Amino acid sequence: MEAKFTEEKDYCYLHKLGREAGGDERKCQQELVAFRDKRQVEKTKRKEIRNRNAEEREAKLQGLSLMLQKSGVSELRGKALDLQVRKFKATGAPNLQGTLPTKVEDKCNAISEGIDLYLTGVWKPIGDVENYEDSSDEIEEEEDWVEMSEEEL
Highest mean pLDDT pick, 35-49, 76-90, 116-130: 35-49
Task: Report the share of the chain in percent with pLDDT over 70.
Answer: 81
Q: For 15-41, write each residue's pLDDT tens digit.
A: 888 777 777 788 889 999 999 999 999
Confidence of residue 47 (pLDDT cuts 50, 70, 90): very high
pLDDT tens-place string over residues 61-100 = 888 888 888 788 888 888 888 888 888 888 888 888 888 8
CA distances (Å), origin 30, targets 21, 39, 40, 123 = 16, 14, 15, 60
What is this structure's pTM? 0.53
User: Is 90 exceeded by the pLDDT of residue 138?
Assistant: no
Written as one string, the DSSP assignment of 56-82 is: HHHHHHHHSPEE--GGGGGG--HHHHH
